[in-house]
Structure 1
Amino acid sequence: MAGEPTKPPSGQDTRPATSPDARKSGSVPDARTSTSDDIAAFVAQARAMSPHRAGAPGRLVFALDATMSRQPTWDMACALQADMFRETAALGSLDIRLVYYRGFNECRATGWISDSAQLARLMSKIDCRGGDTQIGRVLAETRREAVASGVRALVFVGDAMEERIDALCATAGELGLLKVPAFMFQEGEDATAEKAFREIARLTGGAWCRFDPGAAAQLRELLRAAAAYAAGGRDALLQLAKTTSGAARLIGQMK
């Protein structure tokens, strides 16, 4: 697979982060531990804000583990991502922000993308590289974006967790206050990952689902269901659950 371009595709500059260097590179800032004052201010802000603007496109953060073992699933996600846009055609528009981590301390995010062909072109230029998981940065980036511009849901696809679960849960709890459910889709049967993914899903009001390695049909249904929720909310997911098992698996867990 071709290496990542040195510049983002035309019309899809990576989103600004918190530092000038990060703005240039599109990298996601490191997650940090919130102080008691941070948490108090965050709770006040979460209670005061409306999580989703009326008439605005549904916004979905699509996060992928792009470490070396994930190459087959990355390729599969490239092929399936258009189904997320197609699922929402009758519900309204959908914007997707791709976040991925790989290699040594590399975690990047795109801008908001509303076209499946653009997202496919971007994903095709990214190759997987060895490295540790950075789920904390994914959660923190989703939290920042939820506060800045509103996010309906987070989808995460991965097979491992190598971080402090308590730190992940703290950020997940903040996403729960913002009413941003995390749909944690686990490939394989790693017990440590399952424990963490289940807890993140619970704290955010989302759902955890396992899919078999290489099972494109299973992952397709899960991605379609998450996209339906992002575009149309709980009612859209309930409607889809009448005909697809993926949506039923999600709605059965959500608060």
Structure 2
Amino acid sequence: MAAFLTKSRILARPNESADGRLLFAMDATMSRQPTWDMAVTLQAGMFTAIPKDAALQVQLLYFRGLGECRASKWVIDAEALARLMGKIACQGGNTQIGKVFSHARSEHQKRRINAMVYVGDAIEENVDALAAQAGELGLLGLPLFLFQEGHDRNVEAAFREFARLTKGAYARFDSSAPQHLAELLKAVAAFASGGQKNLRLQSSAAARGLLAQIEKK
């Protein structure tokens, strides 16, 4: 898997530096397999949500098992991202959100990331420590969009706080209603490719909900 991720590279283009960049992070522990499989199908919509004159680079980041946390190279099309995701099977283990935040900071300092999506259903780490990391990302100008599966109130409270600290947004979705997650991913892709202006072009209720949160901050 490591070799496969290393070989996945973006295609060079003259205006590459102007592309929007989206970090797509997912919990890939065992309970997440149904949602992971759903996301493999839905991720293509992220690329269709951006204007024709824009481009979007996406990096996949996931954690699973006993301390495994990996990131792909940046890719620019749905097929490349689907190939990456299709090679990954979820494995049992604890959450590693701290590693996700650390990676996001490192990548953002190399070159600006316009937005980060995190999809998960649990937190098994110290929430205060994660909040401190989120606050650092907020100071660096990296908004987090946290999408929760399930109804754990403690997870919701933490995700909402991470979103607040980074001037991002929070949403809950149900894996039995994939269209809502699809709309959320499209909305963030639009935001990553052109900020609030592009997000306003999205007509879905999910996009309006995210925009309303961002505008309040």
Classify the TM-score, shorter chain.
over 0.9
Deviations 1:156-197 (A, max 9, x none): 000001110111111111111121110000011011211110
Amino acid at match of 2:56: L
Corresponding residue for residue 196 of structure 2: 234
Deviations 1:118-165 (A, max 9, x none): 110111010000000011111111111111111000000000011101
Corresponding residue for residue 212 of structure 2: 252
RMSD: 1.8
Structure 1 residue runs of 5 or longer lacking an equivalent are 14-52
Amino acid at match of 1:192: N
Corresponding residue for residue 136 of structure 2: 174
Corresponding residue for residue 95 of structure 1: 57
Corresponding residue for residue 29 of structure 1: none
Structure 2 residue runs of 5 or longer lacking an equivalent are 10-14
Amino acid at match of 2:188: A
Q: Which protein shows a greater Rg? A: 1
Deviations 1:187-208 (A, max 9, x none): 1101121111011000000001
Corresponding residue for residue 174 of structure 2: 212
Corresponding residue for residue 32 of structure 2: 70
Corresponding residue for residue 156 of structure 1: 118
Cα separation, 2, equivalents of 1:147 and 1:56:
16
Aligned residue for 2:4, secondary structure, equals: coil
Corresponding residue for residue 42 of structure 1: none
Aligned length: 211
**Residue 114 of structure 1, aligned match among 76, 98, 108:** 76
Q: Runs (4+) of structure 1 moved beyond 4 Å?
A: none
Corresponding residue for residue 200 of structure 1: 162
TM-score by length of 2: 0.92
1:57–1:93: 8 Å Cα contact kept in structure 2? yes
Corresponding residue for residue 26 of structure 1: none
Cα separation, 2, equivalents of 1:181 and 1:148:
16
**Residue 188 of structure 1, aligned match among 137, 150, 153:** 150
Cα separation, 2, equivalents of 1:90 and 1:6:
33
Overall identity of the aligned pairs, in %? 51
1:72–1:214: 8 Å Cα contact kept in structure 2? no
Corresponding residue for residue 3 of structure 2: 7
**Is residue 100 of structure 2 the alignment partner of residue 138 of structure 1?**
yes
Cα separation, 1, equivalents of 2:200 and 2:57:
21
